[in-house]
Structure 1
């Protein structure tokens, strides 16, 4: 059974959603995958929040004053992050091995230095996913 987490990531101030996406997908992830090698998740899926240009009718936030999320239910403040990344690992032991590796002081410093280029690290959140039910109706 896989061990799955969701990471909620926000771009650093002054960076556009496109710049964030390009750096995260095009630079950070390939670099990180090489750094951690076989410890990388077996599946890494990115779900980017759809953002549009602000109009007078848009509710905006300080983080996203000109690029509000397309909200169907809820508020802008509840969707102020930029991507939800689903990280699936073979099992809990694989996740724990990755955690042990990336928490080594020299490795953690390398990761933090790269994340400072594109992430507002103070806004990063991660949660363990429980039971997964798929329905095809």
Structure 2
């Protein structure tokens, strides 16, 4: 049974949403996929928060003073991260092996050094997903 986590990532202060996306998708993830090898998840999906640049103030936050999220319910502060990442592993054992791999001091140091280029690492959040119920259009 797949083992899935959601990770909420925020860009480093001074980094634009575009710079963040370009580095994360174009540099960090290809590098990390090679580093992780068999420890890489079977699926890695990046879903970016839609942001609109401009002077319109919808309760903007310090992190996003001119790039508010397009929200329907909630506040800007609740959507101050930049991307929601879905990581899907073959099973819990695959996740545990992957997590153990990235916690090795030499690997963790390499990952942290690269993440410092674009992430506000103190804002990173991760949660394990449980049961999946899917509905489709009739």
TM-score by length of 1: 0.97
Q: Shift of residue 58 of structure 1? A: 1.9
Tell me if structure 1 keeps the 8 A contact 2:10–2:81: yes
* Count of aligned pairs: 137
Q: Shift of residue 57 of structure 1? A: 4.2
Match of 1:62 in 2: 62
Match of 1:36 in 2: 36
What secondary structure is seen at the aligned counterpart in 2 of 1:114?
Answer: helix
Match of 1:11 in 2: 11
Tell me if structure 2 keeps the 8 A contact 1:45–1:87: yes
Q: Shift of residue 54 of structure 1? A: 3.5
Q: Which runs of 5+ in 1 are unaligned?
A: none
Q: Which runs of 5+ in 2 are unaligned?
A: none
Tell me if structure 2 keeps the 8 A contact 1:54–1:60: no
Q: Shift of residue 38 of structure 1? A: 1.1
Q: Separation in 1 of the partners of 2:106 and 2:81?
A: 28
Tell me if structure 2 keeps the 8 A contact 1:10–1:120: yes
Match of 1:45 in 2: 45
Q: Say if 1:16 and 1:57 are closer, same or farther in 2 by CA, change over 3 A.
A: closer
Tell me if structure 1 keeps the 8 A contact 2:2–2:89: yes
TM-score by length of 2: 0.97
